[in-house]
């Protein structure tokens, strides 16, 4: 079976580097040695496991991507860039007919979905690529749909901690808040407590020093009106390896959808898991 071509955008970022490293070792996938990067990146090359990858600045991307399509044919773009680049990148992918997996959080998500809907391609858009966490989200979605209002009157607190370089509030935490809202809890995403200080993360949260530069710890705590009942849901991830396997599965899922002729559709990681 011929492997499918992908380009991982966002190098030399840490998450993009881990995703690219996994792609190099996945027999289903061929990593093309190119990556869209930000204008602030000074280097024009990045090496992963001996593979030299050319970094493409925004000013050069139209011309370069056109040459890649002519050389390699179809390929899937995997986006782990920066929240500020989400919508511009999606506009670019759709304009160029490049199906994509959007692992970057942030940006205008409604506009992002509409951009794909109006395009000739498909995309997998997910705030979290970790399959086990996505499965947990699916369980909460089921609860929100099946038992609306079950936590009415309860007070919710949400804490999330990520590495200092993560600019935006966790997309996973926001998605979970949406579920709790439908379960009757009055809570705004703006009330999510966002921790980015390494000292507090280690000394107050207990996050190991080895993972301060790459982690995702979330706690959702529900307290009954009279404070006699407490529910607490927690998922703590150290490192970024958990996201790579899900991303590779999302790439393969998207490839199958495109080969079936699907157009103008955005899929989630729940769709990927169900398949």
Return the domain boundaries, the chain: 4-125+241-274, 131-238
> Known catalytic residue: 166?
yes
Q: Give residue 215's Cα distance to chain centre.
A: 14
Q: Judge whether residue 254 has pLDDT over 70.
A: yes
What b/e sequence results for 12-39 when a residue is b if at least 16 CB atoms lie within 10 Å of its CB, and e otherwise?
bbebbbbbbbbbeebeebebbebbbbee
Q: What local confidence, expressed as pLDDT, does residue 3 receive? A: 80
Selecting among 22, 82, 162, 257, the annotated active-site residue is 162
CA angle 49, 53, 59 (to 5 degrees): 155
Tokens 């379960």 correspond to what residue?
Answer: 183
Selecting among 166, 215, 218, 257, the annotated active-site residue is 166
pLDDT digits (tens, 9 = 90+) for 84-112: 999 999 999 999 999 999 999 889 999 99
Q: What local confidence, expressed as pLDDT, does residue 181 receive? A: 98
Tokens 């898991």 correspond to what residue?
Answer: 273
What CATH fold (topology level) applies to the domain 4-125+241-274?
Rossmann fold (3.40.50)
Q: Does domain 131-238 sit in CATH 3.30.360.10?
A: yes
pLDDT band at 13 (very low <50, low <70, confident <90, very high): very high
* Antiparallel, parallel or unpaired: β 215-223 and 155-162: antiparallel
> Known catalytic residue: 70?
no
Task: Report, as an integer, the average pLDDT of 19-48.
Answer: 95
Q: Judge whether residue 2 has pLDDT over 70.
A: no
pTM over 0.85: no
Q: Judge whether residue 240 has pLDDT over 70.
A: yes
């Amino acid at each position: 079976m011929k492997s499918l071509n992908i380009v991982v955008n966002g190098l030399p970022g840490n998450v993009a580097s881990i995703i690219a490293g996994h792609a190099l070792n996945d027999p289903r996938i061929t990593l093309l040695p190119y990556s869209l990067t930000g204008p602030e990146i000074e280097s024009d090359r990045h090496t992963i496991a001996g593979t030299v990858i050319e970094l493409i600045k925004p000013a050069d991307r139209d011309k370069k991507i056109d040459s890649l399509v002519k050389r390699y044919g179809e390929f899937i773009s995997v986006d782990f860039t920066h929240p500020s680049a989400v919508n511009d990148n999606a506009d670019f992918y759709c304009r160029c007919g490049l199906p994509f997996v959007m692992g970057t959080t942030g940006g205008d998500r409604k506009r992002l979905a509409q951009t794909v809907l109006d395009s000739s391609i498909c995309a997998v858009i997910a705030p979290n690529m970790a399959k086990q966490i996505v499965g947990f989200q699916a369980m909460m979605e089921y609860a929100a749909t099946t038992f609306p209002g079950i936590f009415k009157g309860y007070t919710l607190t949400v804490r999330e901690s990520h590495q200092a370089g993560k600019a935006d509030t966790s997309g996973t935490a926001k998605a979970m808040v949406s579920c709790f809202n439908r379960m009757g809890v009055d809570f705004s995403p703006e009330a999510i407590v966002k921790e980015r200080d390494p000292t507090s993360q280690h000394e107050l949260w207990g996050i190991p020093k080895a993972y301060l530069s790459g982690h995702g710890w979330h706690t959702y705590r529900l307290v009954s009106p009279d404070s006699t009942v407490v529910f607490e849901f927690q998922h703590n991830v150290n490192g970024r390896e958990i996201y790579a396997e899900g991303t590779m599965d999302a790439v393969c899922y998207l490839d199958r959808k495109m080969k079936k002729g699907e157009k103008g559709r955005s899929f989630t990681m729940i769709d990927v898991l169900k398949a």
